[in-house]
Amino acid sequence: MSGIFIAIEGLDGSGGTTQSKLLRQWMEDQGRWTSVHRTWEPSGGPIGKFIRENLKLENAEALGDNVFPYLFAADRQHHLDREILPVVAQGGAVITDRYYHSSLAYQSLTVGFDTVAQLNAGFRAPDLTVFLELPAEACLERILARGGALERFEVIDRLRAIEAAYETVLSYCAARDEAVVRLDASGSVQDIHARVISAVTAAAAT
Ligand SMILES: Nc1ncnc2c1ncn2[C@@H]1O[C@H](COP(=O)(O)OP(=O)(O)O)[C@@H](O)[C@H]1O
Ligand SMILES: [Mg+2]
């Protein structure tokens, strides 16, 4: 039995966390993989925790934007080595809520695309990346409905800039022959879940 590595990507508010949880449950119910592991970036490891602390508004200035791409890349290496690749090697499924595509989109705005692309070029590509496509305005609606403190990423101008940056990322991935599926992320949670399942079913069949 072969493992599978899936990344869920999209703007904040596009539904990535919601969909990755539903997908984990669905994949578990399939009984097809030795294990199904849901994870996220920044990871739960030591570098990921450090990143989360420093992404909080009150700490935002401590490191400076230029440092984050390196931290995210270091976290990603650790995440792959300790959490993702061992599961996939055993025939398990890993679903990560964000991966290097998020770095390429978000951090290209501060340090430029090429710098981030270079830092991430060596990391294993997912067997499937699901890009949840939803306009920035609709993402903001969902973020506002969710309430709570906004992270500094979660502002409309930024969402629009990231939306544009993701287009560059998707072109880059296409040029690298990565398996990326763009899914319409409008509609109900269950509608989108059904689209995600179709994409995963197709990818798992190859
Ligand atoms: N299809 C949907 N329709 C309406 N609201 C949604 C939908 N999917 C998720 N949400 C809500 O939108 C907010 C953002 O969803 P979330 O899964 O956290 O997105 P992300 O992880 O991409 O930021 C949450 O409050 C979530 O409950
Ligand atoms: Mg999320």
**HEC readout, the chain:** CCCEEEEEEECCCCCHHHHHHHHHHHHHHHCCCCCEEEEECCCCCHHHHHHHHHHCHHHHHHHCHHHHHHHHHHHHHHHHHHHHHHHHHCCCEEEEECCHHHHHHHCHHHHCHHHHHHHHCCCCCCCEEEEEECCHHHHHHHHHHHCCCCCCCCCHHHHHHHHHHHHHHHHHHHHCCCCEEEEECCCCHHHHHHHHHHHHHHHHCC
* 142 Cα nearest atom in ligand 1: 12
Q: What pLDDT does 103 receive?
A: 98
Residues lying with their CB under 5 A of ligand 2, a single-atom ion: 16-17
- Give the number of other Cβ atoms within 10 Å of residue 119's Cβ: 20
Give the residue from 203, 30, 28, 2 showing the smallest Cα distance to 90: 2
Domain ranges of the chain: 4-204
Which ligand is the nearest neighbour of the Cα of 41?
2
Q: Is 163 in the pocket of ligand 1 (CB under 6 A)?
A: no
| Rounded distance between C-alpha atoms, residue 150 and residue 142, angstroms | 12
Q: What is the pLDDT of residues 167-179, one digit of tens each?
A: 999 999 999 999 9
Q: Does residue 80 contact residue 123 with C-beta atoms inside 8 Å? A: yes
Kindly tell me if the per-residue pLDDT of 46 is higher than 90.
Answer: yes
CATH topology (fold) of 4-204: Rossmann fold (3.40.50)
Task: Tell me which ligand sits closest to the C-alpha of residue 162.
Answer: 1
Q: What is the mean pLDDT of residues 68-78?
A: 97
Ligand 1 pocket member 142 (CB < 6 A): yes
Tell me which of 12, 18, 131 to substitute to probe ligand 1's pocket, judged by most ligand atoms within 8 Å of the beta carbon.
18
- The single-letter code of the amino acid at 21 is K
pLDDT single digits (tens) 131-160: 999 999 999 889 888 876 666 555 788 899
CA–CA separation, 155 and 140 (whole Å): 8
16 lines ligand 1 (CB under 6 A): yes
What does the pLDDT read at residue 154? 55
